[in-house]
């Protein structure tokens, strides 16, 4: 019945009734579907709604709606700018994300989590299921005129086309990217910002040009100290009088890591639009804010960069002894995630498989431990060889003989000796919540 209703709600089917669906949502924890529909004929609309009437209660509220109300954030909400490039239709991007099964946290700018069941197996996440993080509209760059401009303190300025980049030496790496705000919704007290649960993390196989290949061709002058990466996305942000571009920088010594990539392919396919097409930076082990999407410019600087997303955001901020303390959010904190069984999952007594993935930006995973029902920690088996830049699958088979609710916890420790805390330290912007993961399972 659920599949029938989803097909009935599809855009092509709705149009047969003269109905346009502008957006839909299911409230977490409720068996209620909301959607906004536009139709020129009320009778046709009610004919379309009959399928829902047959399976539950139905309320229809007439309203003066406007197209793309969900994607725009409301009828009176102006569309944010997208920088210097044209942008894809935000409603279309949101619809594609919903059809792919992503958990949409915000329609505009589009921010979506990967459903935890999509992480089962620990392999690379398909492009359509890879989590999406945006600060502005999604640029729609024309690859035929695209250029990566490399300038600043270099011996030779470069202007590289897509073909130029594809003709340079390349390499492929499997890398886990995680939003620094992953888990923000789990902090207490609540924190402003995107209310990420635990799905703002995914792994993919990235192919591109090593960053140093391009920097060496440009020739860094002796005074060059920092490398600025500029994306095509931009817009207005609080506290700034004019529009800003999305820009981040790394020290030159950090850029000398051979595994930093200017990626043009993801899982063997051209980068999807929402993941930076035609070019993005991929910085392994760092929170994904460093992996600038829609990369159009690289500039060598002789001083630290102080742009909005470098200086104002992506810092841990605490108050200690009455004094503010700040630390940049750089390497991913060590974390284990339980992917199986799902929370509230029902499973029969006997052998129960506990599986998941673990990762850390500081070092490869050393061990994953599992606690069942509040008991002692048991070491899980790492599946496959240790992985430096991507998550590590793990599993533990336990025997459960009694029915009831069972609490399962998992914690990871990396080879640098870093271990997950019982509770992550609260910080003002809600970054780096790597508290021990816990799920409740019902044993039948």
DSSP 153-173: SBSS-EEE-HHHHHTS--EEE
Whether 342 contacts 353, CB under 8 Å: no
pLDDT per position as a tens digit, 200-231: 999 999 999 999 999 999 999 999 999 999 99
With 80 as the cut, is the pLDDT of residue 274 above it? yes
Q: Are residues 386 and 307 in the same domain?
A: no
E-strand stretches of 157-274: 158-160, 171-178, 201-210, 226-235, 244-251, 261-266, 269-270
- Taking only Cα atoms into account, the Rg of the chain, rounded to an integer number of angstroms, comes to 24
Which pLDDT score, from 0 to 100, does residue 123 have? 83
Task: Please indicate, yes or no, if residue 7 is contained in any of the structural domains.
Answer: yes
Q: Are residues 299 and 363 in the same domain?
A: no
Overall average pLDDT of the 112-119 stretch: 88
pLDDT per position as a tens digit, 325-362: 999 999 999 999 999 998 888 889 999 999 999 999 99
The model's pTM is: 0.84
Overall average pLDDT of the 26-30 stretch: 67
Shortest CA distance to 409 belongs to which of 444, 374, 367, 366? Answer: 374
Task: Please indicate, yes or no, if residue 429 is contained in any of the structural domains.
Answer: yes
Which pLDDT score, from 0 to 100, does residue 371 have? 96
d(CA 25, CA 22): 11
What backbone phi and psi angles, to 5 degrees, belong to 221?
A: -70, 155
With 90 as the cut, is the pLDDT of residue 30 above it? no
Q: How many domains, in total, are found in the chain? A: 3
Maximum mean pLDDT: which of 193-197, 228-232, 240-244: 228-232
Q: Are residues 180 and 304 in the same domain?
A: yes
Whether 1 contacts 56, CB under 8 Å: no
Task: Please indicate, yes or no, if residue 323 is contained in any of the structural domains.
Answer: no
When pLDDT is cut at 50, 70 and 90, the band that residue 82 belongs to is: low
Task: Please indicate, yes or no, if residue 409 is contained in any of the structural domains.
Answer: yes
- Print the domain residue range for 6: 1-65
Q: Which residue has the higher pLDDT, 96 or 313?
A: 313
Overall average pLDDT of the 274-281 stretch: 97
Give me 213's structure tokens: 């290949």
Q: Are residues 161 and 41 in the same domain?
A: no
Q: What angle do CA 168, 246, 141 make, to 5 degrees?
A: 55
Task: Please indicate, yes or no, if residue 102 is contained in any of the structural domains.
Answer: no
Give DSSP secondary structure letters for 400-417. E-S-EEEEEEEEEEETT-
With 60 as the cut, is the pLDDT of residue 77 above it? no
Which pLDDT score, from 0 to 100, does residue 118 have? 83
Instruction: Give the CATH number, domain containing residue 345.
Output: 2.60.40.650
Contacts of 7-16 with C-beta under 8 Å, sequence gap 24+, read 8/51, 9/35, 11/95, 14/48
Please enumerate in sequence order all residues whose Cβ is within 8 A of that of 142, keeping only pairs 6 or more positions apart, or say none: none
When pLDDT is cut at 50, 70 and 90, the band that residue 170 belongs to is: very high
Q: Are residues 163 and 297 in the same domain?
A: yes
Which pLDDT score, from 0 to 100, does residue 11 have? 81
Output the average pLDDT for the chain. 90
Which pLDDT score, from 0 to 100, does residue 62 have? 67
């Amino acid at each position: 019945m659920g599949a029938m209703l989803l097909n009935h709600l599809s855009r092509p089917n709705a149009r047969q009734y003269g109905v346009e669906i502008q957006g839909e949502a299911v409230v977490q924890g409720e068996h209620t579907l909301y959607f906004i529909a536009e139709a020129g004929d009320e009778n046709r609309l009610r004919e379309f709604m009959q399928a829902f009437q047959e399976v539950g209660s139905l309320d229809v509220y007439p309203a003066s709606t406007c197209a793309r109300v969900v994607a725009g954030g409301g009828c009176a909400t102006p569309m944010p700018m997208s920088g210097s490039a044209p942008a894809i239709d935000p409603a279309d991007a949101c619809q594609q994300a919903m059809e792919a099964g992503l958990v949409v946290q915000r329609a505009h700018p589009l921010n979506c989590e990967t459903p935890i069941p999509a992480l089962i197996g620990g392999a690379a996440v398909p492009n359509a299921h890879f989590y999406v993080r945006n600060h502005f509209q999604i640029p729609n760059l024309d690859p035929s005129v695209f250029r990566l401009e490399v300038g600043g303190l270099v011996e030779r300025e470069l202007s590289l086309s897509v073909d130029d980049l594809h003709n340079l030496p390349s390499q492929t790496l499997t890398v886990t990217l995680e939003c620094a705000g992953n888990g923000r919704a789990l902090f207490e007290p609540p924190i402003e910002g995107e209310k990420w649960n635990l799905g703002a993390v995914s792994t993919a196989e990235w192919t591109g040009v090593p960053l140093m290949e391009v920097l060496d061709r440009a020739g860094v002058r002796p005074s060059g100290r920092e490398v600025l990466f500029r994306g095509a996305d931009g817009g207005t942000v609080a506290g700034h009088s004019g529009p800003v571009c999305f820009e981040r920088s790394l020290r030159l010594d950090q850029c000398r890591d051979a595994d930093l990539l200017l990626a043009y392919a993801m899982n063997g396919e051209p980068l999807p639009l929402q993941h930076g097409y035609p070019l993005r930076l991929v910085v392994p082990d760092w929170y994904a804010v460093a992996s600038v999407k829609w990369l159009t410019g690289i500039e060598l600087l002789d001083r630290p960069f102080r742009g909005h997303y470098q200086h104002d955001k992506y810092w841990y901020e605490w108050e200690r002894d009455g004094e503010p303390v700040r630390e940049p959010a750089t390497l991913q904190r060590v974390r284990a995630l339980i992917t199986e069984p799902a929370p509230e999952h029902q499973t029969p007594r006997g052998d129960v498989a506990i599986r998941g993935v673990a990762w850390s930006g500081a070092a490869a995973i050393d061990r994953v431990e599992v606690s069942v029902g509040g008991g002692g920690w048991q070491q899980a088996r790492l599946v496959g060889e240790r992985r430096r830049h991507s998550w590590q699958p793990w599993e533990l088979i336990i025997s459960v003989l009694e029915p009831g609710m069972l609490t399962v916890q998992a914690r990871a420790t990396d080879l640098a000796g870093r271990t997950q805390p019982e509770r992550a330290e609260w910080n003002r912007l809600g970054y780096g919540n790597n508290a021990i993961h816990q799920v409740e399972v019902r044993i039948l």
